[in-house]
């Protein structure tokens, strides 16, 4: 269990990192998808919302969202000056969403620690955003 303070309140939470296997219709593994889930230990946990966070790609995983903006901990920087090299120091993130929602940070395939497996290739996954956008957003809204 990890503890942070947000707006003067203590939040106890569990941070879990893992990999999920995506499978095709025949049950063959096609990708290993890495995630970090932060779940607050709240009395109303069954009613708490869950926010799923993906970052760009190909190449950039969810680490910048997790450790730089929305996650419960943030890397302390020397901003606006240049931040020196490692070791980095973690600090409670006053801007985290964890006080309002559990968080799941997901590395899209070929970003961060997510990879295609078996016969799948990166190209099998790169079109998902384009396909989703074309199927759910009308061209007049763009």
CATH number of the domain at 37, please. 3.40.50.1820
Tell me if residue 61 falls in helix, strand or coil.
coil
Question: With left for phi above 0 and alpha for psi between -120 and 50, is residue 133 left, alpha or beta?
Answer: alpha
pLDDT by residue for the chain (142 residues), tens only, comes to: 999 999 999 999 999 999 999 999 999 999 999 999 999 998 888 899 999 998 766 566 778 788 878 999 998 888 889 988 888 899 999 999 999 999 999 998 888 888 999 999 887 887 666 666 666 655 444 4
Task: Determine the pLDDT at residue 33.
Answer: 93
Task: Determine the pLDDT at residue 57.
Answer: 62
Locate 90 and state its tokens: 């973690």
Q: Is the peptide bond before 13 cis (omega within 30 degrees of 0)?
A: no
Task: Determine the pLDDT at residue 77.
Answer: 85
* Contact indicator for 107, 61 with CB cutoff of 8 Å: yes
How many domains in the chain? 1
Task: Determine the pLDDT at residue 138.
Answer: 52
The domain in which residue 79 lies consists of 2-141
Task: Determine the pLDDT at residue 132.
Answer: 64
pTM for this model (two decimals): 0.81
């Amino acid at each position: 269990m990890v503890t942070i303070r947000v707006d003067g309140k203590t939040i106890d939470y569990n941070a879990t990192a893992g990999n999920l296997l995506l499978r095709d219709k025949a049950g063959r593994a096609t990708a290993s998808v890495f995630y970090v889930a932060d779940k607050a230990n709240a009395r109303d946990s069954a009613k708490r919302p869950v926010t799923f966070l993906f970052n760009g790609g190909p190449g950039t995983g969810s680490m910048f969202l997790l450790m730089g903006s929305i996650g419960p901990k943030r890397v302390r920087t020397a901003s606006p000056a240049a931040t020196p090299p490692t070791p980095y120091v973690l600090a409670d993130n006053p801007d985290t969403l964890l006080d309002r929602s559990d968080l799941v940070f997901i590395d899209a395939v070929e970003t961060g620690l997510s990879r295609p497996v078996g016969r799948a290739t990166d190209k099998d996954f790169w079109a998902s955003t384009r396909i989703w956008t074309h199927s759910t957003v009308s061209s007049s809204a763009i």
